[in-house]
Chain A
Amino acid sequence: MAAEALPSQFDVVILGTGLTESVIAAACSRVGQNVLHLDRRNYYAGNWASFTFNGLLSWIEEYKNQQEVQITESEQVWRSLIDEGEDVVPLSSVDSSISNLEVFCYASEEEEKEEETKAPLTSCQPVNAETVSEETTGDPTEAQDTVTGDDTTASDAKTQNEEHKVSEPKEEQHTSDISEPSQSQEEKDSQLISSPEDRPVDVEKKITYQKLVKEGRRFNIDLVSKLMYSRGALVDLLIKSNVSRYAEFKNIGRILTCRNGKVEQVPCSRADVFASKQLTVVEKRMLMKFLTFCLDFEQHPEEYQDYTEKPFREFLKNKKLTENLQDFVLHSIGMVTQQTLTAEGLKATQHFLRCLGRYGNTPFLFPLYGLGEIPQCFCRMCAVFGGIYCLRHSVQCLVVDKASNNLFLKFFIFFILILFLHLHRQISRAVLITDRSVLPSESDQQISLVTIPPLESSAPAVRMVELCSSSMTCMPGTYLVHLTCSSYGTAQEDLAPVVSELFHVSTILGEEPSESAEERSKPAVLWVMYFNMRDTSALDSSSYSLPSNVHVCTGPDGSLGSDCSIKLAESVFRHILPDEEFCPPAPNPEDIIYDGDGPQAEGPGFDESANTEADKSQAEEEGAAHEKSPSTESSDPAEMDSVTQSTPSHTTPSSEE
């Protein structure tokens, strides 16, 4: 669509497509506001984004370039557009939220060799078989170059066909167990692999760097690592607003912890406690009793009131939980620190427990294709209701009416990092690609949350999420591991000790993982990236003298859930549109009234839902509201002067291209 066909007036302009901004965009658009949603970058979701492996490599490249070149832009272009009576608030276009980025590759970088002699080995190779079967059912054109490897696989088509023949009956045999023919490929895969006789015994396939690059599009690597509490604000909002229809989710299969260098499962649900082999029966009872108490601890104040001002840990001791159980509750269920007070610890434990059982045996969900999907889903909702999207567009300054000190717009909302850079709280992150799970089990298609108590008393507690390939975030045969903690030093200083504790890291870059039995008990790291991300969640926007119709959003925080971002979005929405419902359920397509001609000029080029005409009664009602609103009038002169008008590239976000 040509740029001139775009409307030039908006009710709400939002800069940044992170989760909070996207939710606000969807909420405003849903209740009829004209929304312009901008992002400086050429991708959605800002620091919430997910990248393919290649996309991430470009992102890293961009980061490095940004470090080298300080962008100095001439102010002249827009200075000349400012009229009398207008004032400007310049916005920085440098994003310094990411720092200390380090990348190490441990996968073999040597060129692939054709090794015909070893080809027959692959016929009994489940990892291969799985890859091939998925390729052939999924994307036949790509199948030609997917089965590659340096020693156990051959890249010529003949061998591949042989493999295919071998793998096919396997798949048939497994899928025949399934009565539902339409079962998704992912489930088939997991069935295929979960069958114990197929599991790899000693033949391991090497994954080269080339392969990671070649299969790069199978990765969806999140910049922030979060899970969704199944009764958290985000899930509730997704359900309430019907945005959930744009995404798919997978249960987190298990919750693990690392104690004394050993990874073990945390019994957190009733079924887990029952099945746990580490706990004595008495411990089981004590744990269940304590957890049951936590579920409605408010009802029994006499149990904890002496401890509200004391650390949670002391309360746990007082409850006669064994050392074992105290660790489980503190680090893995409550996910709080040694210093956390009892009241907060109980609340956190209760939240965890209330989320259990809604969708599975753990309290968490993970969106397929990565967390970056979620902001995009809200953007999609916004676009469906007429929001306009411009990526690669920034705002250089805010034009403020000198008299009222207000923006020539109804509302302006933007992502904090563009403006304020002096927040020091940081999150340390590490992203690893590994070759196996930290705790292999019957099914290797499980997402695991691993809570790692501080290795030393001064170190932070680390949260690790291990994603399997069926979460659509990494290529089959690998695991994508996210580590997160609040920063004490740089990300590498904070997280490298945990990585070397849990994983096998080659001493020489690019070296193949050693085959010694001891070392191979740990998963090998193929590729790792460390970086710090600024945590702006603690920002108090009222401490800055901003125009009253400008609102500020913060970036992702360090916690496991996204409640903070959703609550912020809701409070901003309530502030700007106090009389409107926040994200009411989107109507079903069949309930939308269609009419041939769109009533508004911006009709063409929008999603079909924009081409609708008002239901009479509702239209009258809203029309009245519209006239009464003086801010709408005053916003009329606001040209898009705060927006650079190069060729806009506006797209509708979609969950899967």
Chain B
Amino acid sequence: MHGRVKIKSTAQQEEEKRKEREKKLKAYVSARDAVLKKRGAGEHDEEALQLTQQLLSSNPDFATLWNYRREVLLHLETLREKDEVQKLYESELHFIEACLKVNPKSYGCWHHRSWVNTRLPQPDWTRELGLCDRCLSLDERNFHCWDYRRVVVKESGVSVEQELQFTDRLIGSNFSNYSSWHYRSTLLPQLHPQPVPDSAPNTSPSPTTSPQFHSHRVCEEQLLKEYELAHNAFFTDPNDQSAWFYYRWLLGRAEREEMISCVYVSREGERVSVAFSKPVHAQSEGLMLVVDGQPQQVHWRSAHPRFRHSAVWLCDLPPGSISDISNEHNLTIHWTEKHTHRDCALYTGSAESWCRDSATDQELFRSELSVEKSSVLQAELQSCNQLLELEPQNKWCLLTIILLMRALDPLGHEKETLAHFQSLKEVDPMRSSYYSDLCSKFLIENTILKMEYAEVRVFSLSNKNLTTLCHLDQLLFVTHINLSSNQLLRLPPQFAMLQCLEVLEADDNAIESLEGLYHLPKLEEVSLRNNRILFSKKSKCFYKKPLFWCQSQCLIWPCFKDSVFSINKQIQTYSSAKFCYSPLF
């Protein structure tokens, strides 16, 4: 037919391409061999640069070649004048740019670029910043470029304001960008730091220029603007998590100060228990016990032998040192590492004594969100509720509302919180276990608060759909605990912190493991009806051996007043059956 342009067939094209590839591969392999040979021979000349350039421009991820290039450049640097060196490295930068076009996420390229800039007599940081901007405009999530940009910003001394504007720009073009939001969270505390009240204890070292050492809080005025920004983002697209994460950061996360929260001493067991606000490693932290002015040589051990770090540490006093009930003793725990200490007096006639901060005093469980002003939180809660009306199915909104409610008034909002948890599990069934655990945590916190208002040592959490246990370090004095009719799978090792526990009821759960029942010195009665305690022949753990425990519906251990260790021993030496009282036997 007339004038029809003849085009090569696909097979022809394929064949040509294959030949092309073969040729390329041959050239590549021979160049690679030549380069490696040269490197082996220790040759550092222009030819080496050319050869590596050839190879790297087709495969920029060949790390060995970048290394070789650096060796060559360092060698050439010694031979040349300063302005020649400048030129040498500038052409190197051009070359890297070409390589970045081949693979904008090449580790080798970006690293080499940083290195070249450190060698360059007069680095042009503005140009580098421009390169980053271009790169990020092509792919705003290229973390290699973000990393490199941080180096450039640091070296070129770009002002924090400019950087904040930079994040404004990126967030403006697409707010679904964790890097930008996160960058904001490091810039804001530098630009608008929260004024430090004079009375606040100065625990942090002298301020430095690095953002890491700044207070992570932002002044209120700026904070309100940021809330607005986050509102705009999550009202625009409530399913985009990046803004929600930023919002969570804005609401703050208080770090609990490390301190000794409680000291408990029991005359009968001749034992001291110390609870900390965070898990610590007491042996290395320099914990010292002074009784009546006399430093004691004691051996500190964690509540459960499996924990190297623990919130509760125990030690046994030398026999007879405090057992006489008519004597009064003054104990002091020194925590040398943190320059702090805590006193506890054991008065005449009392069998035990303690000294503690109560959860209510510290507003312990509100500290998840550290924005102090409840008026601000109240306003934020309103905004979120407004969004929830429009988007009743949005999990991020539900979760944020729960957190805000807890920060405001955990007990007052308990009912609403539970309802929201229920909706959360429905809209996000994939994470229902997470929500259950979180809900358990909040319920335990609320119960601890209620218990402390009532000043009792009985802790009842039955029928609350608990799936996990936490904050057990707060229950150091509890004597009776009722965990019946929940969905607990195990009594975790942390259970060993309940040093005063006498009666445990945990019927109607799904408990499989009883690890935490070790080491409870005062435990007298355990009820584990209707659970799923496993039987395993291989396991040496005592509680897994007797099958009849679970079959029997009931297990009561009478009068275990001996130490935990003796229980252990007896179980290993005697048959469990003899040891247990059960209606079946």
Contacts and interface: CB of A to CB of B under 8 A. Distances in A.
| Same complex | yes
A178 B390 contact: no
Interface stretch (B171-179, B244-252, B426-434, B542-550): B171-179
B7 A288 contact: no
B3 A274 contact: no
Given A179-B97, A282-B235, A288-B236, A600 B3 contact: yes
A382 to B, nearest CB: 11
Interface in B1-31: 1-9, 13
A31 B6 CA distance: 11
B134 A179 contact: yes
B5 A274 contact: no
Given A270-B237, A593-B7, A615-B8, A32 B232 contact: no
A565 to B, nearest CB: 25
A189 to B, nearest CB: 17
A386 B173 CA distance: 46
A178 B135 CA distance: 11
B394 to A, nearest CB: 10
B238 interface: yes
Contacts of B231: 281
B6 A618 contact: yes
A606 B3 CA distance: 10
A33 B5 CA distance: 11
Contacts of B4: 31-32, 385, 614, 618, 622
A177 B130 contact: yes
B3 A34 contact: yes
A46 B238 CA distance: 50
Interface string B223-245: 00000000111011110000000
Interface string A610-626: 10111101110011011
B172 A271 contact: yes
A514 B131 CA distance: 45
Nearest to A29: B3
A623 B390 CA distance: 67
B291 interface: no
A256 to B, nearest CB: 18
A34 B231 CA distance: 63
Interface in A584-642: 587, 591-593, 600, 602, 606, 609-610, 612-615, 617-619, 622-623, 625-626
Contact of B390 (A286, A593, A626): A286
Nearest to B391: A285
A274 B175 contact: yes
Contacts of A31: 4
A592 B13 CA distance: 11
A176 interface: yes
Contact of B130 (A34, A179, A593, A600): A179
A34 B1 CA distance: 9
B568 interface: no
B127 A591 contact: no
Contacts of A285: 235-236, 238, 387, 390-391
A285 B134 CA distance: 32
A275 interface: yes
Interface residues of B, number: 36
Contacts of A626: 1
Given A271-B175, A285-B390, A612 B236 contact: no
Interface string B84-111: 0000000000000100000000000000
Contacts of B131: 179
A34 B383 contact: no
A273 interface: yes
Given A274-B233, A285-B235, A612 B175 contact: no
A187 to B, nearest CB: 11
B130 A619 contact: no
B383 A281 contact: yes
A289 interface: yes
A613 B6 contact: yes
A619 B386 contact: no
Contacts of B383: 281
Nearest to B135: A179
A626 B133 CA distance: 57
Interface string B371-415: 000000000000100110011000000000000000000000000
A602 B1 CA distance: 13
A180 interface: yes
Contacts of B13: 591
Contacts of A612: 5-6
Contact of A600 (B2, B7, B9, B233): B2
A177 B172 contact: no
A622 B3 CA distance: 11
Contacts of B6: 592-593, 612-615, 618-619
B126 interface: yes
A619 to B, nearest CB: 7
Nearest to A287: B236
Contacts of B127: 176-177, 179
A38 to B, nearest CB: 18
5 contacts: A177-B130, A285-B391, A618-B4, A619-B1, A622-B4
Given A281-B231, A610-B5, 8 more contacts: A29-B3, A34-B2, A270-B175, A271-B175, A385-B3, A385-B5, A592-B6, A593-B6
Interface of B: 1-9, 13, 97, 124, 126-131, 133-134, 172-175, 231-233, 235-238, 383, 386-387, 390-391
